[in-house]
Amino acid sequence: MSNAIKPWIFTASCPSMIGTVDVVTRYMAKARNYIDEIHSFDDRVSKRFFIRVEFKPSDAEFTVEKFNDVFADLASEFDMEWDLTEPDHRPRVAILVSKYDHCLNDLLYRHRTGQLNIEVPVIISNHPDLEHLAEWHDIPYHHLPITPETKPEQEADIVKLLKQYDIELVVLARYMQVLSPWMCEQLNGKAINIHHSLLPGFKGARPYHQAWEKGVKMVGATAHYVNNDLDEGPIITQGIQTVDHAFYPEDLISKGQDVERVTLFNAIRYHNEKRVFLNEGRTVVFSS
């Protein structure tokens, strides 16, 4: 891992107008904040401007309160909404999972080795199968069985746990349940889901077997924010891998799971590094 000093992260959005980049960079220079990285985008369709800045303060008396107090007067002219993230902030992430362990295993490994700068205070599942992984990592594991009849109660219990553990982000690491509209509303903009992406689209049971029967030449995965449209929330990251006639169904599954792992990891990393902005029904993503 790098020993470099971690930067502060400034993110903001506002209506499109002249001077948006200037008001940010001019203030950073005046406040003696050294800019390490800067990305901006002006969406001519939504007419909205987005900016992300990584910076290191040179002023020994720098504080969040001082930054916000001074910048507020400048930002008001642009109707700008902004956020400041401290270098040592580690978001509290709850992982929801069913029986597939490939995404959970990968996330826990990256968490343990510091590749993901997060806290994982709880794992929640509708099956008991993966409790041993949670125990090995010394993370509380809550088994909440679900049936069509008990779905409302089970989802309410999940929400209670999220509040109990003060969760900032929920990751559906192959949680094989369709969330209710109520649950989607609770998690709107605060949950990331991962699922396979196959073209043509193969829905229902055994999608990789369906894809093999059609001679699919590409497997992939999509990570997106959860909303009330099943598997159609705002997309954060996608991954693909070419395959050919030599790949049997079990090979397609293995390759697809590889892509799912990396795609989900990148989505969580981008979210945690404040590289993702919701822009109406789409996203603006400043990749690293």
Q: What is the 3-state secondary structure (H, E, C) of 111-170?
A: HHHCCCCCEEEEEEECCCCCHHHHHHCCCCEEECCCCCCCHHHHHHHHHHHHHHCCCCEE
Helix axes 102-113, 249-272, angle to 10 degrees: 40
What DSSP line would sit under the chain, residue for residue?
Answer: ---SPPPEEEEEEEE--TTHHHHHHHHHHHTTEEEEEEEEEEETTTTEEEEEEEEEE--TT--HHHHHHHHHHHHHTTT-EEEEE-TT---EEEEEE-S--HHHHHHHHHHHHTSS--EEEEEEESSSTTHHHHHHTT--EEE----TTTHHHHHHHHHHHHHHTT-SEEEESS---PPPHHHHHHHTTSEEEEEEEESS---SS-HHHHHHHTT--EEEEEEEE--SSTT-SPEEEEEEEE--TT--HHHHHHHHHHHHHHHHHHHHHHHHTT-EEEETTEEEE---
Q: Which of 157, 231, 251, 258 is catalytic?
A: 231
User: Is the bond preceding 145 in cis, omega lying within 30 degrees of 0?
Assistant: no
43 noted as active-site residue: no
Q: Active-site positions?
A: 231
